[in-house]
Amino acid sequence: MKKIEVKGDLVDHETRCSHYHTERDIIAIKFYCCQTYYPCYQCHEHDATHEIKVWPKEAFHEKAILCGVCQNELTIYEYMNSNSTCPHCSSSFNPGCSRHYPLYFEASCTKK
């Protein structure tokens, strides 16, 4: 399997960064604006030269989440419905990441 490049201030090979580095901080997100994986929005803000654009709802079927343990990519739908567990390797994701969904995903910040 080809290793996917993750940019940012990484602290280990499971995509933890200097901003988020608990045992469960093991995902990277492909940013819609640049199609580049980063561990978090702060890494993107520090590294990229453009503003973050969130994933539109109609693109949630695209693979945009990387499990740092098994290196499998998940669609946004798979990730949001994963119950904070990788469906491929059963590693636990940080459930607190859901508080940041509006920074990455349109549906989370859409008002009804």
Residues 41-100: pLDDT tens digits?
999 999 999 999 999 999 999 999 999 999 999 999 999 999 999 999 999 999 999 999
pLDDT tens track for 2-41: 789 999 999 999 999 999 999 999 999 999 999 999 999 9
Q: What residue spans define the domains of the chain? A: 27-109
List the one residue out of 86, 94, 105, 110 whose CA is nearest residue 30. 105
Q: Quote the CA–CA distance of 20 and 58 in Å, as a whole number.
A: 28
d(CA 61, CA 75): 5
pTM of the model as a whole:
0.92
Higher pLDDT pick, 109 / 8: 8
Asked if residue 110 has pLDDT above 50, the reply is: no
What are the structure tokens assigned to 94, written together?
């940080």
CA distance 9 to 19: 8
Tokens of 22: 């608990």
